[in-house]
């Protein structure tokens, strides 16, 4: 009788151990990654670092290329990258051309000297002002020693946010950003208000934007229809801009969320240019579509509400 009781007790213990192991296995994360978008934010995973009066945000980048979602394992993100944006005299002055120097280093202060070409450039530099009414997308030259330089100017005094968008060799898409101060009289702060009608005219062209949805964390297709402003005839001979039919940069109202979106079909020529992305959270976003026609690059801004 005692032997039977001992055997039953042993069986109960063994079953409990096996059940616990099963639960532990269920909690293991699945292998592989599914990346949608090419976005940086200053949320918990991308903590802000404060240096004096400047804010620096190092964003892990998910990447959306010309084929939409990528389910293959992504390249590792090089952690703790840092950026500095400096001017020869310490600060830029409004309406004066100045040299902007960008230097990228690792967590130990060593310069990052190898970069992959991303849409024909080693580094994309995006500059916006405090209310997103100013936008500039330029491409500094690599000088070695982790340093890029470019000549640029700012239309007014005040704070500007500068984004360095690049791919360090061996790593994934990365974006580092800081607010920089420009000396001079500030422009008036304009409200960033969502637009009811997403149609704009620029350079004799009429551009209409359509979104397949406006919910956060869901895939959204942005369709730009580009036509002649007078005849309304679709323009079907767009020229490649930086190796693609166009590019779209998206910023949240507070400039904390950044997305650089590439087209679904890079070889498209219009009149439709489609881009797939997802908005990381609810809120107001401003986006800039950039295209090229007859040798001229044109930029179209829109403000949308994501709820």
26 has pLDDT over 50:
no
pLDDT reported for residue 230 = 97
DSSP 181-197: EEESPBPPPPP----SS
Mean pLDDT of 284-300: 97
| pLDDT of 256 strictly over 60 | yes
Average pLDDT score over residue span 70-90:
71
Asked if pLDDT for residue 53 goes beyond 90, the answer is: no
H helices of 27-125, in order, are none
Taking a C-beta distance cutoff of 8 angstroms, is the pair 158, 187 a contact?
yes
**Is residue 12's pLDDT more than 70?**
no
The lowest-confidence range among 7-11, 20-24, 30-34, 104-108 is 30-34
Contact 257, 41 (CB under 8 A): yes
Q: How many whole angstroms separate alpha carbon 153 and alpha carbon 195?
A: 29
- The strand pairing partners of 163, in sequence order, are 126, 177
For the chain, which domains are there? 39-183 (2.60.40.1930), 199-306 (2.60.40.1930)
User: Would you say 121 and 138 are in contact if contact means Cβ atoms under 8 Å apart?
Assistant: no
Does residue 208 surpass a pLDDT of 50?
yes
Given a cut of 50, whether residue 263 has pLDDT beyond it is yes
Q: Is the pTM of this model over 0.85?
A: no
Q: Are 247 and 261 in contact (CB under 8 A)?
A: yes
- 59 with 39: CB under 8 angstroms? yes
Q: Provide the pLDDT confidence category of residue 79 given band limits of 50, 70 and 90.
A: low
pLDDT at 48 over 50: no
258 band by pLDDT with thresholds 50, 70 and 90: very high
d(C-alpha 50, C-alpha 48), whole Å = 6
> For the residues 220-232, what does the mean pLDDT come to?
98
Sheet holding 199-202, edge to edge: 199-202, 205-211, 220-228, 272-277
Say what percent of the chain tops pLDDT 90: 72
- pLDDT classification of 80: cutoffs 50, 70, 90: confident
Q: Which helix (H) or strand (E) holds 21?
A: helix 2-26
Q: Are 66 and 261 in contact (CB under 8 A)?
A: no
Is pLDDT larger for residue 47 or for residue 79? 79
* Mean pLDDT lowest among 161-165, 169-173, 200-204: 169-173
For every residue of 108-172, DSSP letters joined together read: TSPBP--B--BTTBSEEEEEEETTS--EEEE-PEEEETTEEEEEE--SSBEEEEEEEEE-BTTS-
């Amino acid at each position: 009788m005692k032997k039977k009781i001992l055997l039953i007790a042993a069986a109960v213990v063994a079953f409990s151990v096996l059940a616990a192991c099963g639960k532990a296995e269920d909690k293991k994360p699945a292998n592989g990654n599914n990346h949608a978008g090419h976005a940086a934010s200053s949320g918990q995973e991308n903590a802000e670092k404060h240096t004096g009066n400047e804010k620096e945000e190092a964003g892990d980048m998910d990447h959306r290329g010309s084929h939409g979602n990528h389910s293959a394992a992504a390249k590792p993100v090089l952690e703790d990258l840092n950026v500095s944006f400096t001017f020869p005299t310490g600060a830029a002055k409004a309406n004066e051309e100045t040299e902007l120097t960008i230097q990228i280093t690792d967590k130990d202060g060593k310069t990052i000297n190898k970069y992959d070409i991303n849409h024909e450039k080693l580094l994309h530099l995006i500059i916006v002002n405090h209310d997103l009414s100013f936008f500039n997308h330029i491409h500094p030259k690599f000088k070695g020693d982790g340093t890029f330089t470019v000549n640029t100017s700012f239309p007014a005094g005040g704070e500007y946010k500068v984004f360095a968008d690049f791919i360090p060799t061996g790593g994934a898409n990365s974006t580092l950003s800081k607010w920089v101060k420009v000396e001079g009289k500030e422009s008036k702060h304009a409200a960033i208000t969502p637009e009811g009608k997403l149609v704009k005219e620029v350079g004799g062209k009429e551009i209409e934007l359509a979104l397949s949805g406006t919910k956060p964390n869901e895939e959204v297709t942005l369709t730009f229809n580009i036509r002649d402003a007078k005849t309304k005839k679709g323009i079907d001979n767009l020229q490649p801009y930086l190796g693609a039919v166009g590019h779209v940069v998206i910023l949240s109202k507070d400039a904390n969320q950044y997305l650089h979106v590439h087209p679904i079909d890079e070889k498209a020529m219009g009149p439709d240019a489609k881009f797939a992305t997802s908005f990381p959270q609810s809120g107001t976003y401003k986006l800039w579509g950039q295209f090229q026609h007859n040798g001229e690059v044109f930029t179209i801004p829109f403000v949308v509400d994501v709820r």
